[in-house]
Structure 1
Amino acid sequence: MSDIGALEDFSPGVAHAVTAGGRRLVLVRIGDDVYVLDDRCSHEDFPLSEGEVDEAGGTIECARHGAAFSLATGEPESFPATQPVRRFEVTVQEGRVRVVSE
């Protein structure tokens, strides 16, 4: 399990580029819920952390071609992406965000 920071350091509704276990990830906080995905669009290897978060829809949109992915599942919600991005299990313990990594 990798500690990636204090929950209070991650502003809600914003994509944050983080690293855990040597892997680039994108962290999104919506309220007290925290989501972590691979920081790359499955359509074209572009950082999702540069994209826009839709808090109401629970998605993150790739800034390059507009593919949207579910924060909860990593599944694509719109084209041109057809493959999911990997989602990671997240826990918040004593105010610290931890990601389960391989």
Structure 2
Amino acid sequence: MTFTPLIARDELVEGQAQQVRLDGRVLAVVLLGSDVYVLSDRCSHEEFSLSLGEVDVDDKTIECERHGALFSLETGAPVTFPATQPVEAYATRQVNGFVEVDLP
């Protein structure tokens, strides 16, 4: 794994998705407690920005605003229709106050 610095942890707001661009990719970043989740910021159903959607902190999901599809923050798997394909989920770690992400 090769981790790349993404964002300072203190720039993230608990339970809210934030769009971050890195190396030509658009990512949705979510802080939940001590965990940070990073997904591709494009719904697999309609190519809509996931970072605009609501985060469910209990279920660890993010909702696409366009049609209501839910995706797991942990795996990127679709939880509800109309989405049937996952979005990419990336491994993260936190080092010295920064979130780092492993982009293949």
- TM-score normalised per structure 1: 0.97
- Secondary structure of 1:35 counterpart: strand
Alignment partner of 1:94 is 2:96? yes
- Unaligned 5+ runs, structure 2: none
1:16-66 deviation digits (Å, cap 9, x = unpaired):
000122100000010110000000000111000110000011000000000
Query: Percent of aligned positions with the same letter in both sequences?
Result: 50
- Name the residue aligned to 2:54: 52
Query: What is the RMSD computed on CA atoms of the aligned residues?
Result: 0.8
- Which letter does structure 1 place at the counterpart of 2:20? V
Question: Normalising by the residue count of structure 2, what TM-score does the alignment of the two structures yield?
Answer: 0.95
Determine the structure 2 residue equivalent to 1:30.
32
Aligned length: 102
Give the 4+ runs in structure 1 shifted more than 3 A: none
Q: Distance in 2 between matches of 1:91 and 1:20?
A: 16
CA separation in 2, counterparts of 1:13 and 1:73? 17
Structure 1 unpaired stretches of 5+: none
